[in-house]
Amino acid sequence: MKKRMGRQTVMFRDPPVIIGSATIVGPHEGKGPLRDAFDVVKGDQLLGQKSWEQAESQMLQEAALLALKKAALEPKDADFLLAGDLLNQIISANFAARELSLPFIGLYGACSTMALSLALGSLLVDGGYASRAVCAVSSHFDTAERQYRYPTEFGAQRVPTSQRTVTGAGAAILAEGGSQPGPVVTHATFGSVVDLGVKDPNDMGSAMAPAAVQTLWQHLEDTGRTVEDYDLILTGDLGKIGKDLCIKLAGRSHVDLSDGYEDCGCLIYDMEEQDVHAGGSGCACSAVVFLGHILPQIRAGRYRRILLIATGALFSPTTQQQGETIPCIAHAIAVEGGGGDSR
Amino acid sequence: MKKRMGRQTVMFRDPPVIIGSATIVGPHEGKGPLRDAFDVVKGDQLLGQKSWEQAESQMLQEAALLALKKAALEPKDADFLLAGDLLNQIISANFAARELSLPFIGLYGACSTMALSLALGSLLVDGGYASRAVCAVSSHFDTAERQYRYPTEFGAQRVPTSQRTVTGAGAAILAEGGSQPGPVVTHATFGSVVDLGVKDPNDMGSAMAPAAVQTLWQHLEDTGRTVEDYDLILTGDLGKIGKDLCIKLAGRSHVDLSDGYEDCGCLIYDMEEQDVHAGGSGCACSAVVFLGHILPQIRAGRYRRILLIATGALFSPTTQQQGETIPCIAHAIAVEGGGGDSR
């Protein structure tokens, strides 16, 4: 009967199944090492739209529709859309929601939104409030740059700690446990805000790493598990610098991440060849890497059980200009192949 | 056992109790007809902070702490914070969440956020995922004006259809059904996006009215209820023009709103004396009117059962400049005095 474990973790009694997923990426991501993992690689950043913002919303909508299609469903077969993105007033999600016509829960967790939406979607399904839920996010290099930093046309030089916002969208369809075979979401750990005082919006990895470690530590504390219980711990978009810091900070809490730990932001691009500085970031980063690259390996039995910890930096250009530090959050979900034990 | 009713409505089996609530408003709201209904009336728009944004976040945090205090609780006694606001990247909620240190679900539903957060919070509590949840929102006239329209220092003339963003914050504490006496949330109807093509950001009431009617109609359809089953139908912030349109549109669907229907945006200010044009708006509008003015009347038995329908306009200045129409949404919750039947 017990659904809560410790302070921040929910254990699903009837773990929801990920019955379908879809990933769409932009051209730069399509040149990276994971190019074959994605369902669709777009040839340009505009997708035939008049603005990058329209293109981003279009990707989110396409990803949701494709995920539904791969699960042999239509939009009307789902009970909820849980979606978000990085843009002011989450406009990519809002405009996609208009086209999908589903009961819509708009989320903002910055780059942690895919994990937040899967966590909350799992809860809706596990609790019997939805038979099927669509969880989706997007991000776009050009829309994010012009909103958070400089318009890309300006050609500002980027510092080595900066990360490249992934152009892409990911969507997953969750369904009632036992309804179909497939990977299941067994636990969700909802993060609380962590802020160690980092102020530099060009060094998100360092800002977010402490939140990732806090959520990992809390997840292990709440569940009584160790990192060895997971074949893979996967952070969302810490990038090279944040990943190193994450390993260091985890070590201080006696959690050894030297083995079986990856970061989506380090996997999506060729860090030597693709001029992406510290790696990838954005809501779509963890979404497309987890759904496109990792999930098939869970389906294939290559990973038995993984923990996705997606991090988000909850600042805005306004708070940055006002001299505030950057509050960060990390939400985690435990996913395993169907039929595994869900201790 | 059945938790879903029809397409968009959830029926709570064990209706969560609103065990505490708090409302804080700014000086203009403190001069309005509901001044005595609010817990705190601030003397100025800055609250001793350096920026309006900091002041807004401060109000959200204070409202959450006061609501907890009124329920004889501390932050650590709650399992979740569900919060949002109108600002880019919901910074008011994020920075308040940093201080409250609770597992945090960031929501964006524009001015519908209070109903969304109460709907989702009720679901977490009803489902056994939380014993107590804090649901909170804020808005601020000066932060909203400079983000969505013109900085207030500019002194732009406002058109008659425009509404005044309420400066304020509201918070409610939800707890397990039966744990304490008090008003309970029996149903939640999650809205889908409605967009009839309105483009004018100075006429939000007309843009949002169709969403309110759609959600009302769907709620009645899903539950088999009629408007006569409610002592009061309360929309969030349609204002004078939106309210009239709502009555007209409902009439076309054979739903008679000529009696027992109010709008928070029309109640919060003296429409003749306070120079607020079409009325109040903002996340805090429905929050402080519902929690401060209506909830005590439910507790006192003056209202037996009410339906709060909070509406949101899901646009951004970017989408407006790009010529997009305004997608709108409305989320509804049914609230009744403890002990009532929850058909």
DSSP labels, B122-159 = HHHHHTTS-SEEEEEEEE-HHHHHHHHS--GGG-PPPP
Asked whether A292 and A70 are in contact (CB, 8 A), the reply is no
The 3-state DSSP class for residue B15 equals: coil
Q: Which residues from chain B sit within 8 angstroms of residue A79, using beta carbons?
A: 4
Query: What average pLDDT score do residues A29-47 get?
Result: 98
The whole-number pLDDT of residue A2 equals: 63
- How many other CB atoms are there within 10 angstroms of residue A2's CB atom? 7
DSSP B194: B
pLDDT tens readout for residues A204-233: 999 999 999 999 999 999 999 999 999 999
Q: Which of B318, B113, B143 is nearest to A95 (CA)?
A: B318
Q: Which residues from chain B sit within 8 angstroms of residue A104, using beta carbons?
A: 190-193, 329
Q: Do A87 and B316 touch (CB under 8 A)?
A: yes
Residue with tokens 């606001």: B85
Q: Do B116 and A123 touch (CB under 8 A)?
A: no
CA distance A317 to chain B (A): 9
CA distance B313 to chain A (A): 10
Q: Which residues from chain B sit within 8 angstroms of residue A317, using beta carbons?
A: 88
How many A-B residue pairs are in contact by the CB < 8 A criterion? 169
Does B199 lie at the interface with A, CB-CB under 8 angstroms? no
Q: Tell me the pTM.
A: 0.97
pLDDT tens readout for residues A118-163: 999 999 999 999 999 999 999 999 999 999 988 888 888 888 889 9
Does B8 lie at the interface with A, CB-CB under 8 angstroms? yes
- How many other CB atoms are there within 10 angstroms of residue A213's CB atom? 26
CA distance B130 to chain A (A): 8
pLDDT tens readout for residues A260-293: 999 999 999 999 899 899 999 999 999 999 999 9
The 3-state DSSP class for residue B233 equals: strand
Query: What average pLDDT score do residues B49-64 get?
Result: 98
> What is this model's ipTM?
0.97
What residues 55-114 of chain A have any CB closer than 8 A to a CB of chain B? 79-80, 84, 86-91, 94-95, 97-98, 101-110
The whole-angstrom distance between residue B333's C-alpha and the CA centroid of its chain comes to: 10
- Kindly report the average pLDDT of chain A as a whole number: 95
- How many other CB atoms are there within 10 angstroms of residue B5's CB atom? 17
